[in-house]
Amino acid sequence: MTLKEAKDDDFDQKVVETSKEKPVLVDFWASWCMPCKQLKPTIEEIGKERDDIDVVKVNIDEAEEKPQEYGVRSVPNVNLFVDGEVVESFVGNRSKEDINEWIDENI
Amino acid sequence: MYDLVVVGAGPAGYTAALYAKRYDLDVAVVGEELGGLCSEAYIVENWPGTEEIEGQELMDNMKEQVEEIGVEVKQKKVEKIDRNETFLLETEEETLESHSVILALGAEKRRLEIPGEEELVGKGVSYCATCDAPLYRNKEVAVIGGADSGLKAAMQLAEHADRVRIFEATDRISAENIMIRKCEDNEKIEMNTGMAPQKFVGGEFLEGIVFENGEEIEVDGAFIEIGSEPNRSIEKVSGEEILRDDQGFIEVEEDMSTNVEGVFAAGDVTTGSNKLRQIVTASAEGAVAAYSAYGYVSEQKA
């Protein structure tokens, strides 16, 4: 039930620190990217439906450092943070069912 | 119950819906990726009547146009199609019932299928220049493929990257002359022929490309533009196979009918239009398919 947005200055707190308490799903996206638009409603639904993780969206147009720090070379780029670190990531659009399974396997 | 369900939300699907609705059919469009491959197109300059338009904008326009006249557009994946007396199209959440079906499944970007490619997707290897070009500001990139889509990707990348090298496996660049001239005039872009990639090298990120002739280059990004292949997400209707040619294109008659009665096909997934596979040919096939579906549905209901 937690859907947030993060930028460079609050990424560490909203993602890295929070993930030490519970897993955080991060979606790096861009407005010019059609697959990002396709993925957006899915990510938002997951954020609303799951209590066991936080979901944070990062618009790479508004955040330059963090995408670079985490090696984002393609969008949409979905990363799962556990205990302060990225445990798994994927690129491109996927179905809600697939993403939920992917989260369950990795948390 | 619909008169027609169009599977696929690209130019063929939307145009089919536009025409079908004007014949008064009750129609829905169901697509996994709204806009399809076309929405990844950079600038479209060969859609008649429009000097230039971004692929995404063109597809948004098509979607709005059909929604405006009452077509339902659903972003869902059709998992399978069964037939009783009518067609049943199954998605994750619901099953749609329809008198007829148009398969406008489109195409998918072809992969090189060389070592390192799969491992480095998203870490330097990309299939969408529109999405990722801005992430390569001041970097060096390669475009694999010297046809229209490769040259377009190169133009787009040159807006951000410092250096863009196109590598074509055959001995000639085979794109529209106007695109070749644009690339020649762009000082950031180089075009190389006779260069077939053998493997991608890198660890955490892509570092370089090794070619079959033994040459090696260092790059930060590699954009794969070696054409597309027909989508195969629907192969059957209730166990009856939809006939495809040896390259996987759905075989259609001039009226866009397939071997399965009541199932039509349109766009990049078909053998139609001499496989030119353009937005304008996909749309044209969509229109023909809608007219044929209209004829079929009218007969069924009579």
Span of B48-57, B165-174, B212-221 with lowest mean pLDDT: B48-57
Per CB-CB distance under 8 Å, the chain B contacts of A95 are: 77, 92
Structure tokens at A10: 């609050």
Q: Which of B16, B19, B20 is nearest to B3 (CA)?
A: B20
The pLDDT-based confidence of A5 (bands split at 50, 70, 90) is very high
pLDDT classification of B5: cutoffs 50, 70, 90:
very high
What is the arithmetic mean of pLDDT over B55-63? Answer: 93
Q: If you measure CA to CA, which chain A residue comes closest to B205?
A: A71
Res. A1: pLDDT tops 60: no
**Chain B residues near any Cβ of chain A (below 8 Å):** 33-35, 39-40, 56, 75, 77, 92, 121-124, 126, 128, 130-132, 134-136, 204-206, 221
Chain B CB contacts of A67 under 8 Å are 135
Instruction: Answer yes or no: is pLDDT of B202 > 70.
Output: yes
pLDDT of residue B247: 92
> Which among A89, A91, A95 is the nearest to B77, CB-wise?
A95
Among the listed ranges A29-38, B119-128, B147-156, B169-178, which one has the minimum average pLDDT value?
A29-38
Domain B117-224 has CATH 3.40.50.150: no
**pLDDT score, position A2:** 60
Q: Give contacts of B39 with chain A, Cβ < 8 Å.
A: 34
Per-residue confidence (pLDDT) for residue B13, from 0 to 100: 98
Least confident segment among B7-16, B50-59, B162-171, B284-293: B50-59
Task: Please indicate whether the domains covering B2-109+228-301 and B117-224 agree at the CATH topology level.
Answer: yes
The predicted structure's pLDDT at residue A15: 96
Q: To the nearest whole percent, how much of chain A has pLDDT over 90?
A: 74
Contact B205 A71 (CB under 8 A): yes
Radius of gyration of chain B from its Cα atoms, rounded to whole angstroms:
21
B122 and A91: CB-CB below 8 Å? yes
pLDDT at B67: 97
Q: Average of pLDDT values for B55-82?
A: 95
| CB A75 within 8 Å of CB A29 | yes
Q: For position B131, what pLDDT does the model report? A: 87
Cα nearest neighbour of B38 on chain A? A34
| Angle of CA points B264, B267, B268, to nearest 5° | 125
- Looking at per-residue pLDDT, the higher value among B281 and B109 belongs to B281
Candidates B190, B158, B161, B159; CA nearest to B173 is: B190
Q: Give this prediction's pTM.
A: 0.81
Enumerate the H helices of B23-143 as residue ranges. 55-68, 129-132
Mean pLDDT of chain B: 95
- What end-to-end distance do the CA atoms of chain B give, in Å? 17
As its CATH architecture, domain B2-109+228-301 has 3-Layer(bba) Sandwich (3.50)
Q: Which two tokens stand for residue B239?
A: 């166990």
CB contact under 8 A, A73 and B134: no
Contact B128 A33 (CB under 8 A): yes
Which residue bears the tokens 């292949």? B229
CA-based max dimension of chain B: 67
For chain B, what are the domain ranges?
Answer: 2-109+228-301, 117-224
B102: closest CA among B60, B57, B71, B56? Answer: B71
Whether B193 has a pLDDT exceeding 80, the answer reads yes
Mean pLDDT, rounded, for B194-208? 96
Q: Coil, strand, or helix at residue B28?
A: strand
In chain A, what residues touch B126 (CB-CB under 8 Å)?
Answer: 73-74
